[in-house]
Structure 1
Amino acid sequence: MRTFGIIWGGQLVSVIGSALSAFVIGVWVYLGTGSVTQFVLIQFCAAVPGILVSPVAGVITDRWDRKRIMLAADLGAGVATAILLTLVVTDSLSVWPIYLTTALSSACNSFHLIAYTALVPSLVPKKHLGRVNGLMQITQGVQIAAPLVAGALLQLVGLRGVLVVDLVSMAVAVGTLAVTRLPEDAVQPAPSDKAPSGFMAGLRYLGGRPGLVNLVVVFCAFNFLFAIAGGLVQPLILSFSSPATLGVLMAAGGSGLFVGSLVMAAWGGPRRRVDGVYLGLVLGGFFLVLHSLYPSPWLIAVAAPCFLFTLPLMNTACTTLIQTKVDPAFLGRVLGAVRMLVTAATPVAYLLIGPLSDGVFEPLMADGGPLAGSVGAVIGTGDGRGVALIFLVVGVLMLAVAGYAYTRPRLRGIDVELPDVESRKEPARD
């Protein structure tokens, strides 16, 4: 646990620096170009390369030294930041190098995350794995909170100063990891001949275990529905509140994610890990429906943090199940396949929400629209109520996913019927 704590602390510092620079770079692009399209392209470059390289990252994680993979990934992301800093210092920064360096950072982060997640089960006792995965979720809370600090930091030290902070934070992460001694079975697990090599081995491994297949299907559905809600929550709030109120409510929502991560770090999740999956889906569906009922900032101030609280719960439960049920020799490839499938749901959701909102749901909920006299009598009509209807539908779908998950016998019994693998020698006593 001490070794993990040292690595986790260094990586958390790096995540903070990266989140600060990512926000500030986005602000620079939007203010400099005034183009929403160019701003959104940054998000595209931050997501898609990481999805595409995930299977390759999984293969490499199972074949090479995982510590060296993490070091190389951190250094690669550092090079991307150093390029941006050089361009800023020479007053030659433009938009296209930002796209390229963002894509490079995305690919490096994917390698880093898969190697890091595969490394963890060999560093900590299995009984603490849920708590450790909860700690790892804190990084998402930090990323949401970053804009609160980054805005002030931008005014204080400018873009150049923020990039320097990012480079220093990466140096801390690299230095901390470099000097930490790790057990041999953690950095490079023994090879196995139980399955074919290559990135398809991850999918084949999952295919032979129906309980894990059901888990991944449910995890993908959750992330898809979560992405729809995440992409529409700002338009929902702005339909009845000011931009200032939006900032406050977004910060409140981020606090829910942060608190959820702390709770999971202290608790670790239920004894039956699959119960964490059911709980996350049911609570998530309920609080999504709550978003839709009335156009009130006070309602969102309650519903948004409670909904985001479920993300660490779901992520911790699913990640811990995968880590404890997958042969360590194939863990990297399985994690790569799962990451590719799960994260691919996000850009698909983003492509759908615009046409669905503007072309379908808003006209349905307009004053005098087709659903004004039925659903509109419950959640209201007018601007933004079509988005509210999407929240209602997505919430009901998430509850339906919970029902589907519970009806899958292999998933329901995954904690007992699919034996845990031993990734390291467990201590005889606490």
Structure 2
Amino acid sequence: MNKAKNLNTFLILWIGITLSTIGSQMTNFAVTLWAWEATEKATPLALILFFTQTPRIIASLFAGVIVDSWNRKYLMMLGDSVSAISTVIILGLFLTNNLQIWHLYLTGAINGLFSYFQDLAFSTSMTMIVPKEHYTRATVMEDYLTYSGGEILAPFLATFIYYQFNLKGVLIIDLLTFLCAIFTVIIVKVPQPQATVNHRESIYNKLTFGFRYIFSHPSLLSLLLFLLSANFVSNIAWGIFPAMILARSNNSGEILAYVQGAMGLGGVIGGIAFTFWGGFKNRVNGLLLGNILTEFSSCLIGLFKIPYLWMLSGFFMSFFAPLIGSSNQSIWLSKIDPSIQGRVFASRYFIAQVMSPLGLLISGFLADNFFEKNISYFSFLNPIFGNEEGAGMALQYALFSACGIIITLFFYRLSRLRNLEKILPDRY
């Protein structure tokens, strides 16, 4: 056990995940451009996110039992393998001129399902791989440096390759990155905790273990109710982000790439800063403050009309985001025993994210059928948002980002959440 707990295994896996993430982000960006060119509607873009997210929520109901019982290394390999097969299918449909929007919904759902098992297997292996003093740093690297680094490179690479070689060039690169990720998992040893799942136990008890554990700890439940509410309103805004930028920039993929690149840069710099700092001693304060600063920066994107101000606001939105995820993950890693993390983390994910697909589902609908069509009713806000294409989406984006701030302030008043660190001692 002690021999396994060094950063070498984590770093090798992290390199593979980072390469795979960059490839996936390139495909997601290119698919966004393709879907917008085909429809010029916000709803299809939001639905791609919806169909990717929803299977992850469903999987979280039973994935914890599987992750705590099965070989986590094989589950990581399975996630990348299925994603690679999906990429080959999309590539084949595109090359034969048969690719349609609904194909993206279907492959997104499949990828979302299996990538959840991969993500859960990796996150629950962190305690077995990484020394406790590096939990926050490793979480920042896994969740933010990986994603944000991809956000810097992927939009620019995807834009260049998409307009030079169309969608097939992006898909081929994505496929190669999946193969690299699978190789990195093959060459390392992923420690397995001692299984605590009682196979004679009823299926009901197995599936509900994580929920029962969380509900028996009111402070953890309060934390998840906060995340549930914050994620819901955040997704109503985030679901229309690409469409809003494209609509307000005369369909410029280059400007969208610059904005997302600035966001990626902010995430990398913020991730590096929080990696060296280590975060707040009271991690609940770090999580709540990080959400306020992130939502405030997000709100500014909707208020501004100028691309370089979108970039600046996006930079700070992503700069503060690592403070949220690293604080949250560090809390759960330190307070939950490794042998039950799969079941507890899966239930945690379900509770925190169960409303997110609904947010994505209504996001595009609200944009296309209410805010864009009825922007004239908000003429008193024309000096801020204007009345041209995309103004309604900007209003929706700013409004629900501001709701995220209000929700955070409300939950900070709950003593069982505010005092979570005192109520629950570290277990690991």
Please indicate, yes or no, whether the TM-score normalized by the shorter chain is above 0.5: yes
Q: How far off its partner does 1:121 sit?
A: 1.5
Number of equivalent positions: 412
Query: Which of the numbers 130, 137, 156 marks the counterpart of 1:131?
Result: 137
What does 1:324-343 align with in structure 2 at a 5 Å threshold?
Answer: 324-343=334-353
Aligned residue runs from structure 1 range 52-63, under 5 A: 52-63=58-69
* Segment of structure 1 superposing worse, 39-48 or 105-114: 39-48
Instruction: Using structure 1 for the length normalisation, give the TM-score.
Output: 0.83
The 3 A distance-change label for structure 1 pair 22 and 416 is same
Q: 8 Å contact 1:325–1:421 — kept in the other structure?
A: yes
Query: Could you say which residue in structure 2 is the equivalent of 1:199?
Result: 207
Match in the other structure for 1:426? none
Is the CA contact 1:66–1:188 (under 8 Å) kept in the aligned structure 2?
Answer: no
Pairing partner for 2:156 from 148, 153, 167: 148
Does the CA-based 8 Å contact 2:245-2:256 persist in structure 1? Answer: yes
After superposition, the CA RMSD in angstroms is 3.3
Q: Does 1:103 align with 2:109?
A: yes
- Give the AA of the match of 2:182: V
Partner Cα separation in structure 2 for residue 168 and residue 380 of structure 1: 42
For the 8 Å contact 2:385–2:395, the answer to whether it is kept is: no
Quick check: 1:226 aligned with 2:234? yes
After superposition, give the CA deviation of every residue in 1:55-90 in whole Å (9 maximum; x if it has no partner).
22222011112112112222222233344455567x
User: Out of 193, 201, 206, which is 1:188 matched to?
Assistant: 193
Q: Determine whether 1:248 maps to 2:258.
A: yes
1:260 paired residue number:
270
Equivalent position of 1:427 in the other structure: none
- Give 1:306 shift: 1.2
Output the CA distance in 2 between the equivalents of 1:344 and 1:217: 11
Structure 1 equivalent of residue 173 of structure 2: 165
Asked if structure 2 preserves the Cα contact closer than 8 Å seen for 1:264 and 1:313, the reply is yes
**Which amino acid in the other structure matches residue 67 of structure 1?**
K
CA positional deviation for 1:8 = 0.8
- For residues 311-390 of structure 1, what are the structure 2 equivalents within 5 Å? 311-357=321-367, 366=376, 369=377, 372=379, 376=381, 379=384, 382-383=387-388, 386-390=392-396
Q: Sort the Cα spacing of 1:356 and 1:83 in 2 relative to 1 into closer, same or farther, 3 A.
A: closer
Q: Which has the larger radius of gyration?
A: 1
Partner Cα distance (1:157, 1:296) in 2: 30
Whole-angstrom CA distance in 2 between matches of 1:61 and 1:219: 23
What does residue 294 of structure 2 align with? 284
Whether the 8 Å contact between 1:29 and 1:39 is mirrored in structure 2 is: yes
The whole-number CA distance in structure 1 between the counterparts of 2:327 and 2:66 is 25
What is residue 406 of structure 2 aligned with on the other side? 400
Q: 1:326, 1:162 → 2: CA distance?
A: 40
The percent identity for this pair of structures is 29
1:215 deviates by: 0.9
Amino acid at match of 2:220: L
Residue aligned with 1:11, SS: helix
1:176 equivalent to 2:181? Answer no
Inter-CA distance 365–80: structure 2 relative to 1 (3 Å threshold): closer
**Structure 1 residues 235, 109: closer, same or farther in 2, change over 3 A?**
closer
Q: Aligned AA for 2:193? A: Q
Residue 344 of structure 1, CA deviation: 3.5
Pairwise CA distance, 1:270 = 1.3
Among residues 399, 402, 417, which one is paired with 2:423 in the alignment? Answer: 417
1:28, CA displacement in angstroms?
Answer: 5.1
CA drift of 1:361 comes to 5.2
With over 3 angstroms needed to count, the CA separation of the structure-2 counterparts of 1:84 and 1:296, relative to structure 1, is closer
* 1:412/1:4 CA distance change after superposition, 3 Å: same
- Alignment-mate amino acid for residue 107 of structure 1: L
Q: Residues 72 and 296 from structure 1, CA distance in 2 versus in 1: closer, same or farther, beyond 3 angstroms?
A: closer
Counterpart position of 1:425: none
Q: Which blocks of at least 5 consecutive residues in structure 1 are unaligned?
A: 423-430
Q: Residue 175 of structure 1: SS of its match in structure 2?
A: helix
2:222 to 197, 205, 214: 214
Q: Give the direction of change, closer, same or farther, for the CA distance of 1:38–1:229 in structure 2 (3 Å limit).
A: closer
Output one character per residue of 1:391-417: Cα deviation in whole Å (capped at 9) or x when no partner. 454344223222222222221122232
CA-to-partner distance for each residue in 1:284-309, whole Å, 9 max, x for gaps? 34324434555444443332221232
Equivalent residues of 1:134, 1:268 under 8 A apart: no
CA contact (8 A) 1:379 1:385 kept: no
CA contact (8 A) 2:52 2:112 kept: yes
- Deviations 1:111-159 (CA, angstroms, capped at 9, x unpaired): 1001111111211111110010100122322453423212323455554
Partner residue of 1:4 out of 3, 10, 13? 10
CA contact (8 A) 2:193 2:338 kept: no
Give the letter aligned to residue 268 of structure 1.
G
SS at match of 2:18: helix
Deviation at 1:363, TM superposition (A): 7.5
Unpaired stretches in structure 2, ≥5 consecutive residues: 1-6
How many Å separate the matches in 1 of 2:310 and 2:228?
A: 25
**Map of 1:120 onto structure 2:** 126
Q: CA distance change for structure 1 residues 191 and 160 in 2, over 3 Å: closer, same or farther?
A: same
Quickly say closer, same or farther: Cα 1:178–1:274, change in 2 above 3 A.
Answer: same
Aligned to 2:3: none
